[in-house]
Amino acid sequence: MNNLKTFLTLLLLSLTTALAAEDGSRLWLRSEMPDDITLQIDSTMPDDDGYRISGHTVTARTQMGLLYGRYALLRGEQGESHPFYRLRILNHWDNIDGSIERGYAGNSIFWNDSSLFTLNSSLLTRYAEACASIGINGTVLNNVNASPKMLTREYIRRVKDIADILRPWGIRVYISVNFGSPKALGDLKTADPLDPKVRRWWQKKAKEIYKAIPDFGGFLVKANSEGQPGPFDYGRTHADGANMLADALKPYGGIVMWRSFVYGAKHQGEDRVKQAVSEFAELDGKFRDNVILQSKNGPLDFQPREPYAPIFDHMTKTAQMAELQITQEYLGQSKHLVYLAPMWKEFFSYVSPERLVGIAGVANIGLDTNWCGHHFSQANWYAFGRLAWNPMLSSEQIAEEWLTQTFNCQFSIVNSQLKSMMLRSREACVDYMMPLGLHHIFKFDHHMGPDPGGFKADYPIEWCPVYYHRANADSIGVDRSSTGTGATLQYREPYRSLYDNVDTCPEQFLLWFHRVPWTRRLKSGRTVWKELQWHYNHGVEEVDSFAVIWQEAKPCIDAQRWQEVENRLEFQQKDARLWRDVCLKYFSQFALKK
């Protein structure tokens, strides 16, 4: 928006409209704004959309800086603040038929299977304001398992309509693209990235997109993973594929976010957690400067706890961004209260924020009235945005901010208890789902509930839970040491040596990196079997304590939200017990033979 006076008018008017909602759709915007707020431009400030707050005055160099500062004032901030990352992007795994892959809060806010579907501009405006309030400045509108139809005229027009709604809130749109689109759409007989005809096809398509959306952000690409087409289909490399797309976007300032989540037939017999490094390490420095390698925080698949992904150690000449999952695919989905900021802060303790150019978060947003399926899941959307703006913030500070704004009360004893519940919830989830480094023992496909004995002969073995614990009468765990699969050798020092030695490996990763006897004594003095029992029981006890805290908070919470969270906690209590009972019964058949 070029007219500053018009922008400031919109900004001030939005103070009342955003805070007026009193139904279940309300987010963390329910705070009181001072009546005498002053907004002013200072051209001497850094050109990064940062802001400075003094009393009730917000100063910034840019219009977006004023917008971000306005929300910071709502949070009670004072002083100067600037975004740590330039790219602060939500990845929506929304399909064009309106469904959401790994979505647990209803259908898409962007797409519908009806050809007569009309965008809900009011809903998208509220979404945009919520994102802007925490500094999110980009959104990928569709699933990484992308339909080629996204690049047709009809869908480019829809992307333009969405971009027009989000733009005033500083949000740039991106789309996931299917690498095989030129062939899948019937325009060419190949999608070979080194074929001149294919290169021209993408150049023409980029021109068409930017004509409709001049500030279009670029492409997100999942290639040659889980059956998706990619450059390997033509004997080419990831660099060949990414660079071809990057060249098409370069004249317009667009970027390519190329995902490193890869595993499949090319790596027959190789440990799945090693495959990203195997495919990408030799390509470091061979990507265009507008290609960003997007890697999950862990080397497997968004588990409740993983060691950091070693690909962050290897790609020193390639721009990288971390992909975090907000939507709790493996952490109870929208039915469990699990605050994810501690998990993300744990990742940043291994991978320095300075190593990254941005952060992407797989969004947990849908058409449910409360947006995220669980009221406390909104805290993870909030925490992602706050950490993308400033990864140095603590989990505790972010929880305090969210609680105070969401429940519209001053910090109190009740809020202190709720904060304690939030801060303990991730570790509780690890305890009742996958203690001591157990991993990927979830039910097939939907990943909800335990299935430690899961095996299907018609599935690739690396999709089967039994592959990830390998329990027998003697031992449990996967030997990923230098004498096993060698996964520890992909890490930099001191972690390489730390993880490689069973005596120094942190117990939280013990069964991830090592195969150990059931009778091995741990730091607690308990055997591995007794320690597993302790963790499973402790996880259940923690969830029970959350239910007590929530009961005590009832007088301070409106009836609707209190009851909805109560129902979720009752489910979580039952599910935590299910995890404990199923897993202990299954593993006891091996452990008790000793």
Cβ neighbours for 53, distance < 8 A, ≥ 6 positions apart: 59, 69, 72, 73, 77, 78, 79, 80
Mind listing the pLDDT tens digit of every residue in the chain (594 residues)?
A: 445 444 544 454 444 344 334 444 567 775 566 778 999 999 999 999 999 999 999 999 999 999 999 999 989 999 999 999 999 999 999 999 999 999 999 999 999 987 557 899 999 999 999 999 999 999 999 999 999 999 999 999 999 999 999 999 999 999 999 999 999 999 999 999 999 999 999 999 999 999 999 999 999 999 999 999 999 999 999 999 999 999 999 999 999 999 999 987 678 889 999 999 999 999 999 999 999 999 999 999 999 999 999 999 999 999 999 999 999 999 999 999 999 999 999 999 999 999 999 999 999 999 999 999 999 999 999 999 999 999 999 999 999 999 988 986 666 777 899 999 999 999 999 999 999 999 999 999 899 999 999 999 888 888 899 999 999 999 999 999 999 999 999 999 999 999 999 999 999 999 999 999 999 999 999 999 999 999 999 999 999 999 999 999 998 899 999 999 999 999 999 999 999 999 999 999 999 985
Integer distance in angstroms from the first to the last C-alpha of the chain? 71
* CATH fold for domain 433-478+515-591: Alpha-d-glucuronidase, C-terminal Domain (3.90.1330)
Q: Do the beta carbons of residue 293 and residue 319 sit within 8 Å?
A: yes
The answer as to CATH 1.10.443.10 being correct for domain 87-395 is: no
Beta strands in 148-262 (DSSP E): 172-177, 218-221, 255-259
Q: Do the beta carbons of residue 217 and residue 141 sit within 8 Å?
A: no
What DSSP line would sit under 276-291, residue for residue?
Answer: HHHHHGGGTT-S-TTE
Beta strands in 55-148 (DSSP E): 57-60, 79-81, 87-91, 138-140
pLDDT at 268: 81
Instruction: Say which DSSP state 393 is in.
Output: S
pLDDT at 28: 78
In terms of residues, how long is the chain? 594
Residues annotated as catalytic (active site), given as ranges? 226, 301, 329
Which phi and psi angles does 359 have, rounded to 5°?
Answer: -135, 135
**Helix, strand, coil proportions of the chain in percent (round to 5)?**
45, 10, 45
What residues pair up with 527 in beta bridges, in sequence order?
521
The contacts found for 69-72 with CB under 8 angstroms, 24 or more apart, are 69/39, 70/11, 70/15, 70/33, 70/37, 70/39, 71/132, 71/133, 71/134
Residue 59, helix vs strand vs coil: strand
CB-based burial of residue 68 (10 Å sphere; 0-12 exposed, 13-18 middle, 19+ buried)? Answer: buried
- How far apart, in Å, are the Cα atoms of 501 and each of 24, 228, 277, 504, 509? 51, 37, 21, 5, 12
pLDDT at 15: 46
The whole-angstrom separation of Cα 174 and Cα 30 is 29
Which phi and psi angles does 261 have, rounded to 5°?
Answer: -75, 95
pLDDT at 250: 98
Domain ranges within the chain, ordered by starting residue = 4-81, 87-395, 433-478+515-591
DSSP H helical segments within 351-454, as ranges?
378-389, 395-406, 413-433
Instruction: Say which DSSP state 71 is in.
Output: H
pLDDT at 6: 47
